[in-house]
Chain A
Amino acid sequence: MDSITSTIQVVPLNHYILLSAILFSIGVIGVLIRRNAIIIFMSIELMLNSVNLLLTAFSAYSGDASGQVFVFFIMALAAAEVAVGLAIIVMVYRNTSSIDINILNRLKW
């Protein structure tokens, strides 16, 4: 454990924050501009994983394990979300034979 934290601390904390922020932004942009439900879904996972990375870095730097425990919570709940989300996408696909979200405009604005 100690060797892992010291390895993490080789890289300055700001670099982790910057990397996470960039990954998070890529995820947000992906959600906003892509039209395929699966790719939007992948972008959301990217957002969640950038948070995981950030939490791990903070946790290693502050010597506090609770940040890493939080990562497990995020992973578990993200897995639950994936299960439900993919089921919803399959349900939509069965009815429309498409997962393009542009067809989701039957409800008027």
Chain B
Amino acid sequence: MNSLIVISILAIVVLYLGLFKAKSALLPVTVIGLLGALVLAIMEWNSGASAIYSGMMLFDNFAVAFSSLTIVSTILILLLSKGYFEKISDNVAEYYTIILFALVGIIVMVSYHNLTMLFVGLEIMSVSLYILAGIKKRDFASNEAALKYFLMGAFSTGFLLFGIALIYGASHSFDMSVIAQYVIDRPTPSAIDPMFYVGIILMIVGLSFKIGAAPFHFWTPDVYEGSPTLITTFMSTVVKTAGFAAFLRLFAMCFAPLAEFWMPTLLVITILTLFIGNITALYQSNFKRMLAFSSISHAGYMLFAIVALGSTSINSVFVYASAYSLASIIAFGVLIIVKDQTGGENFDSFNGLSKKNPFLAFVLTIAMLSLAGIPLTAGFIGKFFMFSTALQQYHTWLIVLAIVNAMIGIFYYFRVIVSMYFKDAEGKELITPGYFQLVLSLSAVATIILGIYPSLITNLF
């Protein structure tokens, strides 16, 4: 709870810093404030929280873990923003403020205990992101990304709301413990109001839009490609993690006893997401767009935890989201440098990166190995946990399909490694600014450490 208040106040303080032209103080104040919020969040670990504000919010271990993960990822991304926003416009403070407000929405989303708060958190986050996607006002791709994201986001909110309304109609409450009790009190499927089932399906549709799962993924590549790269990093790591946390929280707390009803739907969505994400990623020549499709396929892997909902689901989503966020931050960080200094974001721009800048090539290799799920990286541990969660419920065919997809994934992730190490370099050497070195090496070291000592975060829940 305290971390939510700190971040909200921090956002307003940053806005005032912008008003008083204290530009050099923006980044340090934001990062220090977020570190404070992180400490406050971790202090609530295992505090045995109960629902506060008439059952609106619940800061249990789930909320603490996911708020901490999103705050850490946001700090890493903000450190990459040194000198980035200044090139876009003079109003730098507003960008930091909007990112912080998006983070406020995300923390509400991972700690809700009432469907009202799910909606409010989702909207605070989405409205901030619509603005962030379009901050390059003169750039046509950025405009297009903002408009597409806005129209699709508002459209999906409509589905989510209709679902909430129908669930309210059946259970007469927005409170999640009341809804859970409504389901438990009616052991036979026919005793539950049909509206409730329609509500679940509509909520799956609305949330699948938000996490970018097929067949509701079509906006993802365009929005990720068109948005400024730093914002894409934020969207594909922090926002995706938050979307999954909200999805998982809803299904684990309320709809778990009805798994027989919604599991087949989610199973189809998962398999479609895996295949569409991976196969389309094969054909991309643009690195950023490839990462967008790879984020769709990773959404597919993360959906495993919800398809095979059980006691280990929370843990596996947390591990997978941490691994994926770290690797994506590295990949996008390297992309920002390469785009900045060579001007292109195609695979060709990475040719001979190992000679032009061995450090960048090395960390990007770690990131690609982690995304592909090679052992000794965090990505392998994430996939391992996901697959074992699914196997506990005997989804053998799902695992077989997932392994086929993991192999397709290795192909396009290794394309980058091949062009970095085995193609000839052209052009001058690349320079890595200090902040980038810090963030990239921290993330790379964390990826390796989590890969070798997974017990650091795997036994949290």
Taking the nearest CB of chain B, how far is it from the CB of A31, in angstroms? 5
A→B interface (CB under 8 Å) = 17, 20, 24, 27-28, 31, 37, 40-41, 44, 47-48, 50-51, 54-55, 58, 62, 64, 66-67, 69-70, 73-74, 77, 80-81, 84-85, 88-89, 91-92, 95-96, 101, 104, 106-107
Please determine whether B225 and A88 come into contact, CB atoms closer than 8 angstroms: no
Q: How far is the CA of A92 from the CA of B146 in the complex (A)?
A: 9
**For the complex, would chain B's binding face be called helix, strand, loop or mixed by DSSP majority?**
helix
B residues within 8 A CB of A28?
155, 158
Among A17, A77, A81, the residue within 8 A (CB) of B120 is A77
Query: Which B residue's beta carbon lies closest to that of A85?
Result: B150
Please determine whether B165 and A84 come into contact, CB atoms closer than 8 angstroms: no
Among A55, A81, A95, A101, the residue within 8 A (CB) of B165 is A55
**For the complex, would chain A's binding face be called helix, strand, loop or mixed by DSSP majority?**
helix
Query: Which B residue's beta carbon lies closest to that of A105?
Result: B144
A residues within 8 A CB of B151?
31, 37, 40-41, 44, 101
Interface: B174 (CB within 8 A): yes
Listed stretches B131-139, B180-188, B253-261; interface member = B131-139
Taking the nearest CB of chain A, how far is it from the CB of B134, in angstroms? 6
Number of interface residues of B (CB under 8 A): 39
What is the 8 Å Cβ interface bit string for chain B, positions 72-88, against chain A (1 contact, 0 not)?
00000000000000000
Among A67, A91, A101, the residue within 8 A (CB) of B168 is A67
Q: How far is the CA of A107 from the CA of B137 in the complex (A)?
A: 16
CB within 8 Å for A73 and B116 given contacts A58-B169, A104-B147: yes
* A-B contact list, 21 entries, CB within 8 Å: A17-B169, A31-B151, A31-B155, A44-B151, A47-B162, A50-B162, A51-B162, A58-B165, A58-B168, A74-B119, A80-B123, A81-B154, A84-B131, A85-B130, A85-B150, A92-B147, A96-B143, A104-B148, A107-B141, A107-B144, A107-B225
